[in-house]
């Protein structure tokens, strides 16, 4: 009987130590931003105001975590209505055909300090490409409501032409490379 009880306790502890924790993006404390060179002399900044994100992790760190994010392209916001309408058109994102962009991770590798390398599939329009991005893990804290929250950020560059955004293919007026900055605070579910 003692062996059965000990076996049960060890099994329970093993299950609990490897239990998956779900974290959902808090849109009030997260942002999806971009920056692109215009005319080779200045930059246009923008963001996407509507997105969902989920991280599944073993506990309160990013080791072996799985990331799934979806951005609603219709929520693009550069602060200029005319430009936003053009970005939603077939010249750029073609939101009638492709209303969302997504990222699904395939692996995460811990580096040093609180940094990781995250690999996954980025889908924009009908193109899916594997990307590798640096992630800085901010840690875990409790918010004003006493809920656990996790923070991380990443900055990377994508070539928009690789994803079928072919307007101005020379990059003279609208650069080919887009700098992306993501800041996420996620709430433990």
Task: Confirm or reject CATH 3.40.50.300 for domain 21-188, answering yes or no.
Answer: no
pLDDT in tens, 76-123: 999 999 999 999 999 999 999 999 999 999 999 999 999 999 999 999
Q: Considering the entire predicted model, what is its pTM?
A: 0.87
* Per-domain boundaries in the chain: 21-188
pLDDT in tens, 57-71: 998 889 999 999 999
Does the pLDDT of residue 178 top 90, yes or no? yes
| Residue-averaged pLDDT of the chain | 92
Gap between the Cα atoms of 129 and 113, Å rounded: 28
* Strand extents, DSSP E, 39-165: 42-48, 51-58, 66-72, 76-77, 100-110, 115-124, 127-142, 148-159
Gap between the Cα atoms of 136 and 184, Å rounded: 11
Residue 2: predicted pLDDT: 52
Largest CA distance in the chain: 77
């Amino acid at each position: 009987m003692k062996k059965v009880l000990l076996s049960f306790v060890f099994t329970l502890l093993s299950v609990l130590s490897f239990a998956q924790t779900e974290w959902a993006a808090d849109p009030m404390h997260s942002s999806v931003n971009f920056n692109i060179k215009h005319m080779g002399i200045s930059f246009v900044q923008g963001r996407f105001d509507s997105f969902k994100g989920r991280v599944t992790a073993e506990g309160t760190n990013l080791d072996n975590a799985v990331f799934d994010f979806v951005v609603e392209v219709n929520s693009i916001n550069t602060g200029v209505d005319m430009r936003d309408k053009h970005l939603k058109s077939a010249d750029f994102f073609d939101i009638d055909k492709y209303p969302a962009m997504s990222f699904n991770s395939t692996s995460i590798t811990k580096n040093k300090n609180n940094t990781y390398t995250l690999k996954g599939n980025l889908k924009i329009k009908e193109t899916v490409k594997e990307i590798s991005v640096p992630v800085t893990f901010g840690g875990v804290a409790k918010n004003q409501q006493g809920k656990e929250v996790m923070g991380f950020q990443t900055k990377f560059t994508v070539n928009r032409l690789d994803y079928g955004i072919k307007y101005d293919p020379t990059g003279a007026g609208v650069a080919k490379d887009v700098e992306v900055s993501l800041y996420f605070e996620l709430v433990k579910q």
